[in-house]
Amino acid sequence: MSSLISLPIASHRLSLLFALTLLLGVTASAKKTEPAAAANSGPAVFTDSSAAGLSATKRVAITNVMVSFQASVGDKTSMNGLLAHKSDTSSLIQMPDMDPKLLAAITDEIYAQLQADLKAAGFEVLPEATVIASPSYQKIIKLAGIANFSKFLNRDGDTMLVGASGLKPYLPYNSETGSFSTPSNNGIRIKGWVSAMGMGSSTPGGPSLTSIGTIYELPGLEVDLAKELNAHVVKATYLVTLGSTTASISGRFTRYNNHTGTAFAQVGIKADQSRIAFRTPNGNHKWQSIARVKVAPAKDGDVVVTLAEPLLGGTDFFAVSSSQKGKGMLGLGGGADMQFAFTVTIANAAAYREEVTGLIKDAQTKLLALVKR
């Protein structure tokens, strides 16, 4: 038995808080997760770089516009106290079904806006045809290009990788994205999206942890392209978040009582990983080293402007359903002893598109304000 409760809350636009309550002695509720503390210097910051690195030329060549749509976020916890029965709980919020046409429309709109925003910021944007015809660009695509609409993963969970039409999408060398490019230990993902062995995309032509870990030549090829075109190579990456979950256990001696899973579905733009990177003609051929022992801002360029604060939007275009299952007294079945799953669908595609594009355009304005000529 389950119920859906909607409450108004303050956000980018009118939002609804989904509280999903599962009975039979187990509850699942929804809570808003407060955003992480922002960097001291404002909503957008330079990542170990400055605008001075762009002084050599005002020409730019856009090679990659990628919007990563978070498809799942999970949490897992366990209790094994001295007098406790060993038990664990997992909670997963997921959006396994996404409309490629909707995601493509969002990404292409951002691509067009990026070209306009760069021009407004004082840059000369080279035509797409000029970039694609470049031998150096073709080398980049041969080395690192992936299929559009690739199912993949990151530290938060599963993600759908969507590139702008006309440009072959590609991921940066994983040393330039730090620990965010590798999965966390919660082990809760959408079944069949990524292989267990090698962490490879189930999408034909999609990436794997191995493939993005071996393209160490990519930064140098981007510098070569920048030199060939006498233009900074520009890549825009935005991560659209899905929401958050928690899993908890209270009480002792029992396997199933007081297991709780929570989920909050809300669109947003993730800080630290949402960024615009410039690879310069006089840039470093070697990759940029990023900390891998903690989540750190990505730096896949010589000059990188990064969103330092998450942008949070609404939830009123989402529909959420829930389920839960346990392994039983014999402990049969895979996964945690108690598993909560919250499935999100987009009930209003037009409103979702308006919200996501509005948030990304806002982020892009903040980012490019730092490099305006």
pLDDT per position as a tens digit, 155-205: 999 999 999 999 999 999 999 999 999 888 777 899 999 998 889 999 999
pLDDT in tens, 198-234: 899 999 999 999 999 999 999 999 999 999 999 999 9
pTM here? 0.86
- Rounded to whole angstroms, the Cα distance separating 368 from 165 reads 22
- 296-355 confidence digits (pLDDT tens): 999 999 999 999 999 999 999 999 999 988 876 555 667 788 899 999 999 999 999 999
What is the Cα–Cα distance from 325 to 335, expressed in whole angstroms? 10
Structure token pair of residue 155:
């530290």
Mean pLDDT of the chain: 85
pLDDT confidence of residue 253: 54
Quickly list DSSP for 221-279.
HHHHHHHHHTSEEEEEEEEEEEEEEEEEE--SS-SSTTEEEEEEEEEEE-TTT-EEEEE
pLDDT-derived band at 89 (thresholds 50, 70, 90) equals confident
Could you list the beta-strand ranges (E) of the chain.
2-9, 15-22, 27-29, 44-46, 59-70, 72-79, 87-94, 124-125, 150-153, 158-163, 232-249, 259-269, 275-279, 303-307, 311-312, 318-326, 338-346
What does the pLDDT average to over 282-299?
Answer: 88
Structure tokens at 245: 């979950």
In angstroms, how far is the first alpha carbon of the chain from the final one?
Answer: 59
